[in-house]
Structure 1
Amino acid sequence: MTRTSLLWPALLLTLSAHTALAQSTPSQAPPKMEKLEEVTDDPVTISAKPAQNKITERRDNSGNVVEATVKSGPSTYTLRPNHPVGTSVPGDAMSGAPRGAQWTLFEFDLGKKKKAPEDDAASDNNPPPQPAPAK
């Protein structure tokens, strides 16, 4: 007989003894319970602010979105789609990197009507300037 054929019965005997020990029945006594002290906390009320987001989309004649402007609180940014070149598909090696958002940092209102000079002088409490004498 070979050496491995003699080891099999010994191996099976040790495995069966190990599984018999592992399957012992749990004790019938109930587990010991600990009493937790009751704490009364003030009720927590969570109220979410309504979303202040305003989204404006601009579309071309075929209905595709050309530009989306998002105003979220004090921040404003513009999203434009990345149009793939030729027959490439978004995510393809030839399509290029995705286009990021453009944040609007400062806006100047150049068409704003200027303040009247009399309002400006009244607010400074200075007398209005004297006109230059005519020659």
Structure 2
Amino acid sequence: MTRTSLLWPALLLALGANAYAQSTPSQAPPKLEKLEEVADDPITVTAKPAPERQITERRDNSGNVVEATVKSGPSTYTLKPTHPVGSSLPGDAMSGAARGPQWTVMTFGGKKKKNPEDDAAPEADAPPPPPAAPAAK
């Protein structure tokens, strides 16, 4: 077989695909659907109030920040800077990695809510008094 006999089927396939792709579309316009009209109600957009954030910094005698405690909503975490070792600079191969925040969890001894129902509960659960002893004859 020659090389040209192998190219003929590929050439005919390409020409057939080209002729199929160039077929004319129908002249009828596409069918459109009618959308329901709705009234435009005014929309009021309000920004969410930012959660209160309290940041407490602790500094050493030279004014460098040693520790920062952040209270944001119900969460509390502590940030501490990374101190370079020797003559290394931050980002150096010899310096340590960045320190992540330390979250404060499972704190005990906080204020407890006192319910008036708790005071009455022990009295209701008291066992009944023992039955009276029969009188002697």
TM range (shorter): 0.5 to 0.7
Q: What is residue 4 of structure 1 aligned with on the other side?
A: 3
The answer to which of 74-83 and 62-71 deviates more is 62-71
**1:50 paired residue number:** 50
Contact 2:80 2:99 in 1 (8 A): no
TM-score by length of 2: 0.53
Alignment correspondent of 1:99? 100
Cα deviation code 1:40-62 (max 9, x no counterpart): 47544342113312233445577
Letter in 1 for 2:76: T
- Identical amino acids, percent of aligned pairs: 52
CA deviation after TM superposition for structure 1 residue 73, in Å:
2.2
Which has the higher mean CA deviation after the structures are superposed, 21-30 or 87-96? 87-96
Contact map agreement 1:81 1:99 (CA 8 A) in 2: no
Match of 1:32 in 2: 31
SS in 2 for 1:70: strand
Contact 1:84 1:90 in 2 (8 A): no
Residues 21 and 5 (structure 1), Cα distance of their counterparts in 2 relative to 1, 3 Å cut: same
Asked if the contact 1:77–1:102 (Cα under 8 Å) also holds between the matched residues in 2, the reply is yes
CA distance in 1 between counterparts of 2:27 and 2:94 reads: 67
1:72 Cα offset (Å)? 1.2
SS of structure 1 residue aligned to 2:26? coil
Cα RMSD over matched residues?
3.9
Does the 8 Å contact 1:68/1:79 carry over to 2?
A: yes
Distance 2:71 2:25 in 1: 64
**Matched pairs, number:** 108
C-alpha spacing 1:33/1:101, structure 2 compared with 1 (3 Å): same
Q: TM-score, normalised by structure 1?
A: 0.53
Query: Displacement of 1:17 after TM fit?
Result: 1.5
How far apart are the structure 1 equivalents of 2:57 and 2:27? 69
Shift of 1:8: 0.8
| Per-residue deviation, 1:14 | 1.5
AA aligned to 2:104 is: W
* Cα drift, residue 6 of structure 1: 1.1
Deviation at residue 16 of structure 1 after TM alignment: 1.6
Cα distance between partner residues in 2 of 1:4 and 1:51: 76
